[in-house]
Amino acid sequence: MGSEPKLSVLFTSEEIAATVSKLAAEIRQDYLTKHPILIGVLKGSFMFMADLIRLLDFPLEVEFIRLSSYGGGRESSGKIKVVQGLRSEVRGRDVLVIEDIVDTGLTISFLLDYLRKKKPASLKLCALTDKPSRRQTPVTIDYRGLTVPDKFIVGYGLDWDEGFRNLPDICILEGED
Ligand code: IMP
């Protein structure tokens, strides 16, 4: 290993918790009677999903999907595939995708197209963080949390080469942008 990476806190765990509460309130209003399927995109969304659903006091199902993405580097290849698929039938269901971050938008666009083909009753996107400065394809984020600058961020589920997911804050990994 080289020298210790330098981290600086971008959003504290308190700020993240307030954002998750805000998103949960918005989602509750729209899905209270719909028995939606929430689909988390692995691995980055696991922590957000766990905190979010504990604030949703109505019937729902939880699924996860795993897509191939970055590997160890930062650039999205744009070549995305489903590595681990869904167990539930989404046809005719109200589906809400739960993402950690929308960066170029390539990953989530792929996933939304993939799910749309399965004919859900509705399909919406909730993203904890949004890095709009790097967007390569337009994405509608129905429930948007925190806007992040053009920096590489880690923590609260987000990784750099599988590290730092366990940080309670969201931090900028200095020198990686
Ligand atoms: P996109 O296809 O460029 O939008 O990238 C989506 C995926 O790339 C996310 O689900 C993350 O796994 C990863 N990613 C993008 N930006 C960051 C970042 O700043 N930190 C950690 N992971 C990131």
User: How do residues 94-150 score in pLDDT, each as one tens digit?
Assistant: 999 999 999 999 999 999 999 999 999 999 999 999 999 999 999 999 999 999 999
pTM: 0.93
Residue 46 Cβ < 6 Å to ligand 1? no
Mutating to test ligand 1, I would choose from 103, 134, 153, 159 the residue with most ligand atoms within 8 A of its C-beta, which is 103
Give the separation between CA 20 and CA 47, rounded to whole angstroms.
11
Structure confidence at residue 5 (pLDDT): 83
- SS3 at position 33: coil
* Residue 103 annotated among the catalytic residues of the structure: yes
DSSP run (H or E) holding 15: helix 13-31
Which residue has the CA at smallest separation from atom 9 of ligand 1?
Answer: 101
Is 40 buried (19+), middle (13-18) or exposed (0-12) by CB count in 10 A? Answer: buried
Structure confidence at residue 72 (pLDDT): 46
Rg from Cα positions in the chain: 16
Retrieve residue 60's tokens: 């729902």
Q: What distance in angstroms lies between residue 33's CA and the mean position of ligand 1's atoms? A: 32
Which residue has the CA at smallest separation from atom 11 of ligand 1?
Answer: 101
Give the separation between CA 24 and CA 173, rounded to whole angstroms.
28
Structure confidence at residue 80 (pLDDT): 86
Which residue has the CA at smallest separation from atom 5 of ligand 1?
Answer: 103
36-40, 77-81, 90-94: least confidently modelled range: 77-81
Residue 69 Cβ < 6 Å to ligand 1? yes
Among 103, 159, 169, 177, the active-site one is 103
Retrieve residue 1's tokens: 């290993």
Structure confidence at residue 77 (pLDDT): 61
Dihedral class, residue 45 (left if φ above 0, else alpha if ψ from -120 to 50, else beta)? alpha
Q: What distance in angstroms lies between residue 70's CA and the mean position of ligand 1's atoms? A: 7
